[in-house]
Amino acid sequence: MPTLLHADSLGLAFGSRRVFEGLTLTLEEGERVGLIGVNGSGKSSLMKMLGRVLPPDHGELQLRRGARVTYLPQEPEFPAGATVASELAVPDPELRAALSEHARLSAEGTSQALERAARVADAIERLGGWSTAHRARELLERLGVTAWERPIAELSGGTRKRVAIARALLTAPDLLLLDEPTNHLDADTVDWLEEALDQLAGALLLVTHDRYFLDDLVDRIVEITPGGGLRSYPGNYEAYLVQKVEEEETASVAEHKRQRWIAQEVAWLRRGVEARRTKSKARIQRAKRLMAERGFAPPRTAGLALASAPRLGQIVLEAHGLEKRFGDRTLVRGLDFVLQRGERVGLVGPNGVGKTTFLRLLLGELPPDAGTVALGPRTVIAYYDQARAQLDPDETVYEAAGGEERVRVGGKELLLRDYLEELLFPVPMQRQRVSALSGGERNRLFLARLFLQGANLLVLDEPTNDLDLVTLNVLERLLLDFGGSVLLVTHDRYFLDKVATAILSFEGDGRIVRHAGNFETYRSLRAQSERAGAQPPEAAAARRPPEAAAAKGKPRRLGYKEQRELEGMEAALEAAEGRKAAAEAALADPRTYSESAARVPALRAELERAGAEIDRLYARWQELQDLSAQG
């Protein structure tokens, strides 16, 4: 494919810290590339350079003649006094200038001016036409934004991000640069954005911690290495992981051979002076050089660890009849909620639906309008607020981590400076101000400070924003091994799939429904419910089991057998989906038809039975979930 952009030998430094040196990158037309690297490696700086927002110290940036680039930073910027309409009616600055020039020339009215206006009209057509307002309104409606005339300064962070995304998509660029586009977006909007970007005609360079995004959208991964260079891996995120494992295995084998060589040389050197007299000086120098070399070491990861905490009782937290309203908006309505030891509950729902409000009610930061909240007698809470308001930007990293000389984490006592070293904050960096850190570094510091509190209930409101993929994986493992309980708000679908044992779905108008299982299970149940809701009443009634039909209109609690059935539903579904996958694989294998053609009818029947069983199980699971919520 033709080259769209070529960056050659880029260099960048901030004071004494060198970010890049000799960095080279080529992007081709229509290519979809994911840019990854640890926090502080310079991903955002590189995006700014490619978007011509930040000039490199040296190096050259070449863009195909006439190509247009749109850059969307992590925190979008808007002109003072801007409204949604003013930004989106004509989102492209070049188009806005062309429209203004056409109006001026038309008003001038001379033959020469009208001739020039005709040429400008051609440029307007090339840039997207005379009016993008209609397309902008359609796009905003899909993004859930209705405040067309509202000043952008009055919008929430999530709504501002939606407007910025709409503005970027409307420019229809040849290259779209997106830096963490999913921050502040709910899961449904992230799904929609993924589909919209999949249909994008131009090239895409993407920085995101959303691994499903990387897996579904990109066809190449570019990694910023610790030395400030770039490594390119063909394929999506899954393909990148496979290649990284192969790389490390190869490096480990090479290192093992080198270590054996070193051992042999050391043994030889220790034979004594007499032996050395008969050996070459070159071999002695080579042996010393080998021993001085640094061996293969896997990439360093942040050593997140938890301080010891008291053991929880069975009930961690209880809420009964909980209600909260703001004016005529009801965010929580008559909720009964019990959190038990070892549960990790993910909160999902659109922005502004009340997830953070619900957490603050449980924490006692907001008084409920009705109902009660009670903590278990041994519950100790650590709260991660998404604004990270507890971090003072004027403190040093060392001070912000607590400033105590010694800390106890992971069952051992450490000097605080050593603990911070394990979190990838070397001693010189510990003297830096918090304000000088990148978003991901601040997030990692806040988590480190939080985990020193000795809590057995972690309340985490958007902890995944700005974290690099390696640190996300460390955080996932930490939460999976955590002996306490977790309440978690995040838009990261992959994270919820790996961590959550239950989902609280905020449906709007104060309705909150609990679902067993992770996010993928919840989505499957919701899709099944929506399909069932779209059926004619008689079809839905035909699918309803006799006992459910008899009990219609009579709310009741789950019986013992039904509770056991609900608990075993996830395993039953996995088994049915396994049978379906096995049948699909066999039917997709050409050898089945050449070697075992007689099996084909049975395999097709098994595929149909497994599919029907999956539908039945999802319908039954939804029914049991609804009964559980009523009880």
Q: Which CATH number is associated with domain 315-394+433-522?
A: 3.40.50.300
> Cβ neighbours of residue 155 under 8 Å, at least 6 residues apart?
84, 147, 163
pLDDT (0 to 100) of residue 177: 96
pTM of the model: 0.65
Mean pLDDT over 189-193 rounds to 86
- Looking at residue 483, what DSSP letter applies? S
Q: Tell me the domain boundaries of the chain.
A: 1-68+173-266, 315-394+433-522, 538-630
Say if 1-68+173-266 and 315-394+433-522 have the same CATH topology: yes
pLDDT at position 513 over 60: yes
Record the tokens describing residue 374, joined without a space: 């009670």
Give the amino acid at 323.
E
Q: Which residues contact 169 (CB under 8 A, 6 or more apart)?
A: 139, 176, 196, 200
Residue position matching structure tokens 């399909």 = 531
φ, ψ for residue 119 (rounded to 5)?
Answer: -65, -40
Could you report the per-residue pLDDT of 139-168, keeping only the tens digit for each? 777 777 777 778 888 887 778 888 888 888
Mean pLDDT across the chain = 79
Q: What is the 3-state secondary structure (H, E, C) of 131-160?
A: CCHHHHHHHHHHCCCCCCCCEHHHCCHHHH
- What average pLDDT score do residues 82-99 get? 69
Nearest to 3 by CA among 24, 25, 28: 28
Fold assignment, 1-68+173-266: Rossmann fold (3.40.50)
- Identify the pLDDT of residue 268: 60
Domain 538-630's class? mainly alpha
Inform me whether the pLDDT recorded for 410 exceeds 50: yes
Reduced to 3 states (helix: H, G, I; strand: E, B; else coil), residue 552 is coil
pLDDT tens track for 302-313 = 667 777 777 877
Residue 555 pLDDT > 60, yes or no? no
